[in-house]
Structure 1
Amino acid sequence: MTKKLAASPLIWPMLALVALLLVNVIVTPSFLSIRVQDGHLFGSVVDILRNGAPTMLVALGMTLVIASRGIDLSVGAVVAVSGALACAHVAASDDPGGVGTVVTAMGIALGVAVGLGLWNGMLVSVFGVQPIIATLVLMTAGRGIALLITDGQIITVTSAPFKILGTGFVFGLPVAILVSLSVFALVGLLTRRTALGMLLESVGINPEASRLAGVRYRTIVFAVYVFCALCAGIAGLMIASNISAADANNAGLWIEMDAILAVVIGGTSLLGGRFSLTGTILGALIIQTLTTTVYTAGITPETTLVFKALVVIAVCLLQAPKFRALVSRRRKRPPAPTGRAATDEVAGQQVSVPAPTSMVAK
């Protein structure tokens, strides 16, 4: 039982998350306390889940892209474009507080996000451009598009319906958490209860063999890039809704790195094929908890990236089979005999002399 737990790819992310929570409890004893105010849940744990919801969404989309042996560096730019479009439409509307205005703004933002995902999928699957190059182009251009939409300014909006996605509550829980968990449940059902997950893994393991076996490689690649961009678009709406503004310079900045780190921490192989959605959620929670820990401990925010790197290296080493085998081999290695014991061992060894091969039978 212990060996099975140690071999599970989820055990080390879970232990890392528990360790971070314990550190926070030591620094702030009331860290895990949750209070109910006006029928809503509040507390540090709730804040971690709510603030980590955009990263969870982007990381879920990134998981499927990486499982197909790809990468998407443009999710941060898609986040910025999505938030900029929604806020620009709401701010320019005659009725910024209307539900119809907010729904239209979100529809425009998500439609453009899907279009950007189709662009990435076309470059990768149809034209054969390397995923890192194809998405790097949009990573650079997308941020510029967001700045053009906002004219380089921060667009602020005053709309109660628009704030629901980022700061609203349903049944006492933040809407952002419920949206992220709903997407996680939907993707889990599609990839683990249908053949889609197996087809995705086959494409990631060997695209050419999958094509020869009749798998529609291009369709799957298109789908994962569109889904990843859609997740980034929803995350952009969450971020813009949370602050009631569109900041094209900072919205989604480095979220692609956080998403990739969450995927790696969760045990998904960067070589494609094997992936874990539950591990991705744990990885996103680890990153957000680590950020909260740095702020709680009074450490300067500039050093957050250093702590992220240390945690990622530690978790990845613990997950690596070669590293675990090396540690266990050193732990099981018997101590070398010394002194009289070594002498007796050498003296007790039998030396075998091979028979001469040049002797001729008489």
Structure 2
Amino acid sequence: MTAAAGTTIWRELIRKPFFWGIVAIIALLALNVIKDPTYLALSINPNNGNLVGNLVDILRQAAPVMMIAIGMSLVIATGGIDLSVGSLMAVAGAVSMEFLSAAGDSFGAALAAVGLALVITGVLGAVNGVLVAYVGLQPFIATLVLMLAGRGIAKVITGGQNTTASNDSFRWIANGFLIGIPVVFLLAVLIVIAVGLVVRRSALGLMIEAIGINPRASRMAGIKPKGLLLTAYIMSGILAGIAGVMSVGSVMTVDISRTGYQLELDAILAVVIGGASLAGGKFSLSGAFVGALLIATLDKTVLYLGVSSSATPAFKAIVIVVLCLLQSERVRGWFRRRRRPRPAERLLQKEEVSA
């Protein structure tokens, strides 16, 4: 490979938004290694042969964020937003825990609990879609309504109490391991790949981006935006339900006030880090995947460095702002211009060489 070709590849690479997300993950891990050189060490649990370490914890913690970030990517690509995903996680947790508390400890009960949770969150996602696509409400308002009402629905389901259940099969979804890797992360990767194949190997992804760019032009091109909007919000609801199952499965308890709390903000950040435009018309599932990993790494770093809870939002904000600046073509262009010599300086350099 020639030097020119290598330079071209490098320039193309740094233009990818998720590249800077990977750089940020590496920088955060390096910061933790400086504090503790054994931070990245992995070991095998002699009792079950599973991998143990901080990296494993990050992968497990990133899985629910990946799910809601993928759903959020599709919604944002249509020019909308879904503020209800955190509340839908609580609803999914409430439904599954209430069902399992009465159904007992069996594999069939676990499957039924997961299925019931996803059906209900899919229906609630459809409510968002109907309000946006058919009623004509602004996505912010429509999903804000369900964001507030969702936790109320979860409280009604649980009677206002934190519900605990016992089911080994259900717990395995969040705490189990397969070939030494957390099942919850493997499941998240498979779902991301499946959604990616659906939206990128078919016209669905292009049509979603088209209605985000220009709804009127897309209608004139024969695209039916209402059905696509409904589909995007249903998928977001189902993926939020999966995230809720993953979250409550780790402790087998649903905390109505804490499950999924403010995770809609993490999902939006993950999508933005991945290079999606909040104006719609552009999304990247691989970018959202990297963004979710960065959010999980950042949360783990905050705890590991002992950052106080009052300073945690500021710490996260600084990291996100720096990353967004690095992603900006305008900012990088400004630095390139600063490095280039001015015309007068170039003329002076030529005169010195000729002399």
Task: Give the TM-score normalised by the residue count of structure 2.
Answer: 0.91
1:319 is aligned to 327
CA contact (8 A) 1:147 1:249 kept: no
CA deviations 1:5-30 (Å, max 9, x no partner) are: 23222221111111111111111211
Name which of 95, 106, 115 aligns with 2:123: 115
CA drift of 1:336 comes to 7.1
Q: Aligned residue for 1:57?
A: 67
SS of the residue aligned with 1:10?
helix
| In structure 2, distance between residues paired with 1:157 and 1:301 | 30
State how far apart, in whole Å, the 2-side matches of 1:33 and 1:288 are: 18
- Asked if residue 306 in structure 1 is aligned to residue 314 in structure 2, the reply is yes
**Which residue, out of 108, 112, 132, partners 1:104?**
112
**Which amino acid in the other structure matches residue 224 of structure 1?**
A
One-letter amino acid matched to 1:286: L
* Equivalent position of 1:351 in the other structure: none
Identity %: 45
Q: Which is worse superposed, 246-255 or 9-18? A: 9-18
Match of 2:169 in 1: 161
Distance 2:342 2:302 in 1: 42
Alpha-carbon distance in 2 for matches of 1:237, 1:303? 30
Q: Which residue of 1 aligns with 2:285?
A: 277
Give the structure 1 partner of residue 189 of structure 2: 181
In structure 1, the partner of 2:239 is 231
Paired position in structure 1 for 2:76: 66
Residue by residue over 1:286-319, the C-alpha shift from the partner in whole angstroms, topping out at 9 and shown as x without a partner, is: 1110111111112223432222211111111111
SS state at 1:115 partner: helix
Equivalence for 2:86: 76
1:208 matched residue in structure 2: 216
| Structure 2 residues not aligned, in runs of 5+ | 1-7, 349-355
Deviation of 1:110 (Å): 0.9
| 1:17 lines up with 2:21 in the alignment | no
Quick one: distance in 1 between partners of 2:13 and 2:61? 30
- Name the CA distance, whole Å, in 1 between partners of 2:343 and 2:43: 55
With the length of structure 1 as denominator, give the TM-score of the two structures.
Answer: 0.90
Aligned to 1:42: 52
Which one-letter code corresponds to 2:308 in the other structure?
T
On the 8 A contact 2:18/2:291 being kept in 1, the answer is no
Aligned positions, number: 337
SS at match of 1:240: helix
- What's the C-alpha RMSD, in Å, of the aligned pairs? 1.6
> How far apart, in 2, do the equivalents of 1:303 and 1:259 lie?
21
- 2:96/2:245 contact within 8 Å kept: yes
Structure 1 runs (4+) deviating above 4 angstroms are none
Give the CA deviation at 1:46.
Answer: 0.9
Tell me if structure 2 keeps the 8 A contact 1:169–1:175. Answer: yes
Match of 1:147 in 2: 155
Instruction: Report whether the alignment pairs 1:132 with 2:140.
Output: yes
Is 1:92 the counterpart of 2:113? The answer is no
